Structure 1
């Protein structure tokens, strides 16, 4: 029997994940079954379950993909001790989040589904909470550096500011999906105006 390469396994995992993106974007997390993902992927049930044991693992993989894209933004923008403007960090993070997924699949729709499921508590919340906390810690570092550069008041708490910055991400996504008149450019321009005034 031929040996399965790491590249082959990665390609099959990605095929399943993209199928899950499409299903959740179309039917919501609750409305999506593993059978839907199996059918959408074009693979056998055994192949799909060989990579993901259930919907919770798929949700975790989706969250990792979304948050992983944002992690790269922070790693890049905070390299070499840089102190980027929080609006620039937010803009780059939003662009990264919106670029994840294949053509025709808006990962922000899937992200909202994941949040809704996490609000219900249980395993999904347990899986996603550490990732959101990590995102908030990255924002704390951005705000500490912004403060050290003299752009945030000395009496300001960078942790409180970071919580507000994290909250802007779902705020942008929900307005964009519900109203359709919000762009990353205009939104972050507004954030810059608020921070610089």
Structure 2
């Protein structure tokens, strides 16, 4: 089937980055080549090199794109009327992706590559810090922060939230389940609400109320 007409330079970059994500998830960052990416994207290797010098440049562009997505999700979360609804937005932001297991596999491999590649490690730390700072600020601005369980500070609460999020990501990779987008969203909401009750319950309420 012929590839759809690409209308702009930005569209072409998006096409390449989407193909790279699939290749990195399937083969790993270290094993995937620019030829693999070109085959997945359905374009020539030479055309990819017009946009990206090497794989490090590709992963840098992916990090920049993800940071932009994080800022967009955080902005939506800030407009929610309660902290619980903000967390629900954060935990369900990617439920409608076509291949969530591919994204999860990519992220897990990226963490592994970060242990070997200082450039990738810097990118991962930068993206994670962007997300952590945003969630910490979100919590700090909320009334619920005053009644956090065990007197936890906003940054400590954010660390626990991210620990749960990463654990769910690992489960997607190790225990893949066939789910519709609606089923995936329901699962994420259930986890979010349990976590919220544990972290922000009032002293008079049981943890699993």
The answer to whether TM tops 0.5 is yes
Contact 2:132 2:159 in 1 (8 A): yes
So what's the TM-score if we normalise by structure 2?
Answer: 0.76
Deviation, 1:104, is 4.2
Number of residue pairs matched? 187
| 1:29-44 equivalences in 2 (<5 Å) | 29-44=29-44
Question: Cα deviations across residues 5-58 of structure 1 (Å, max 9, x unaligned)?
Answer: x95101111111121122122212222111111222222222101212221222
* Coordinate RMSD, CA, aligned: 2.7
Question: Cα deviations across residues 36-84 of structure 1 (Å, max 9, x unaligned)?
Answer: 11222222222101212221222233333344333212112214xx663
Secondary structure (helix, strand or coil) at the match of 2:94 reads: helix
Matched, 1:128 2:132: no
The aligned counterpart of 1:88 is: 85
- Tell me how far apart the structure 2 counterparts of residues 42 and 110 of structure 1 sit (CA, whole Å): 20
Question: Cα deviations across residues 90-133 of structure 1 (Å, max 9, x unaligned)?
Answer: 43223223445xx4463222122222212334110112212211
So what's the TM-score if we normalise by structure 1?
Answer: 0.80
Deviation, 1:148, is 6.1
Q: Which runs of 5+ in 2 are unaligned?
A: 1-5, 178-183, 202-206
Indicate how the Cα distance of structure 1 residues 152 and 128 shifts in structure 2: closer, same or farther if over 3 A, else same: same
- Tell me how far apart the structure 1 counterparts of residues 63 and 191 of structure 2 sit (CA, whole Å): 23
The aligned counterpart of 2:48 is: 48
| 1:163-174 equivalences in 2 (<5 Å) | 163-174=159-170
- Point out the more displaced range, 167-176 or 89-98: 89-98
Secondary structure (helix, strand or coil) at the match of 1:30 reads: coil
| 1:152-167 equivalences in 2 (<5 Å) | 152=148, 155-167=151-163
Deviation, 1:154, is 9.3
Indicate how the Cα distance of structure 1 residues 90 and 114 shifts in structure 2: closer, same or farther if over 3 A, else same: farther
- Tell me how far apart the structure 2 counterparts of residues 24 and 99 of structure 1 sit (CA, whole Å): 21
Indicate how the Cα distance of structure 1 residues 146 and 140 shifts in structure 2: closer, same or farther if over 3 A, else same: same
Secondary structure (helix, strand or coil) at the match of 1:59 reads: helix
- Tell me how far apart the structure 1 counterparts of residues 138 and 190 of structure 2 sit (CA, whole Å): 21
Matched, 1:22 2:22: yes
Contact 1:146 1:152 in 2 (8 A): no
Contact 2:91 2:189 in 1 (8 A): no
The aligned counterpart of 1:3 is: none
Contact 2:139 2:145 in 1 (8 A): no
